[in-house]
Amino acid sequence: MTKRVVVVGGGIIGLSVAHYCALKGHQVTVVERGAAERNGCSFANAGMIVPSHFIPLASPGVVQLGLRWMWNPESPFHVQPRLSSELLDWGWKLYRAATPARVAAAAPVLRDLHLASRTCFQEWAARWGNEFELVEQGLLMLCNTDRGLEHEAQTADHARQLGMPADVLTPAAVAELEPNIRMAIAGAVYFRLDAHLTPGRLMAVLRRELQNAGVQLLHDTEVRGWLVDKARVSAVETSVGRIEADEFVLCAGVWSQTLARDLDLTLPLQAGKGYSLTLESAPMKPRLCALLSEARVAMTPMGTSVRFGGTLELTGIDETINPIRVRGIVKSVARYYPDVTPSHFEHASIRSGLRPCSPDGLPYIGRFDRFANLSTASGHAMMGVSLAPITGKLMAEIISDEPPSLPITALRPDRYS
């Protein structure tokens, strides 16, 4: 049965939901508060597809590591001190979720989501002539300390237990994969199933294909309220008027929490601000994307440019760029790539984005119990691009009253209500 579907949020998650809903034959409207061309996570991210990221943000030791890092203004993690009951509640929930048992339960869920999403990306690349530059050559987890390599080798062993290839490499073996780059490393882990793409191109292709499919894209449109009739949402009030529909999906990133709260729904999220620095003329020409393990910095080749991204800064809804955090990224890059000096970043394009982080490190995907026609797809943290296609596919199945193609019990949005 054809339904009228309103998707609130026009980032990579929202557009993916709209795409798969349109494929099911639904009439889709996307409501986006920002302009068509803008900054933000969907455009400024590292563009990685990462089955290697099967360990959630809430993992053993993450709280202690965060406390140690937060006093260093240039560290990969920072919490802006502020009186916020929501931040304290979120932190307590993260602490409760950061146990070995929770990680063991979450790992196969994230593995299956990432692998299914990877298949979707392959289908998109075949259908659209790979305009978004999908490169399936794997990812290098670079370590510049023996201790860091030992830790990543344990993750590699965990990956193999989950059925995913992961190879621990010597510096010489890494040099064979990247012969044109000088690196200061103790070794690396090579995750063969990972891939990368160019986010801006992906967003442009998705917008074009949605328009071709008859999806209505409303940019610069703000949600101002909801109309509710008992256990159903009947319409959404926006800055351009009221929009009625049969189904509503919250895909507004960190703003999903506020929109859910307007309906007396609990959706714990914190904005994890990250930064990206794009070099149009980089002194290196990498083949593979990489993560600088100890520094928590990503490096991705994107056409003729190279993008570095990193930090997790819990500052609330604040998209300003902190030069101290940027300086931390720049300094860390040189520790792994000696030929990339701070001077190379003088003309870099610097952008920030707010990642929607759930306390347990798992996204929210599915219907709310309280409303028969309200769903959400949010809380993907640093995995938004990687999990976008499978999120869209699952949401389209749910809206079409079909059984989801993957188990989503662990992802239910009411798990903290």
Given pLDDT bands bounded at 50, 70 and 90, which one contains residue 67? low
Confidence (pLDDT) at 83: 78
Q: Rounded to an integer, what distance in angstroms lies between the CA atom of residue 101 and that of residue 71?
A: 29
- List, for residues 102-146, the tens digit of each pLDDT value: 999 999 999 999 999 999 999 999 999 999 999 999 999 999 999
Structural domains in the chain, sorted by start? 4-42+201-268+361-411 (3.50.50.60), 52-98+130-194+269-357 (3.30.9.10)
φ, ψ at 235 (rounded to 5°): -165, 165
Residue 149: pLDDT above 90? yes
Strand order through the sheet with 4-8: 216-218, 27-31, 4-8, 247-250, 374-378, 364-367
Burial of 100-122, coded b for 16+ CB within 10 Å and e otherwise, reads eebbeebbebbbbbbbbbbebbb
Mean per-residue pLDDT, 307-324: 89
- Indicate the pLDDT class of residue 38, thresholds 50, 70 and 90: confident
Mean pLDDT, all residues of the chain? 94
pLDDT value at position 91? 87
DSSP 122-135: HHHHHHTTTTT--B
- List the helix and strand counts (H, then E) for the chain: 11, 20
Phi, psi dihedrals of residue 173, rounded to the nearest 5°: -70, -35
- pLDDT, tens only, 70-88: 667 777 777 777 778 898 9
**Separation between Cα atoms, residue 246 and residue 365, nearest integer Å:** 18
Radius of gyration for the alpha carbons in the chain, expressed in angstroms and rounded? 21
Q: Using one digit for the tens of pLDDT, what is the confidence trace for 258-299?
A: 999 999 999 999 999 999 999 998 889 999 999 999 999 999
Rounded to two decimals, the pTM is: 0.96
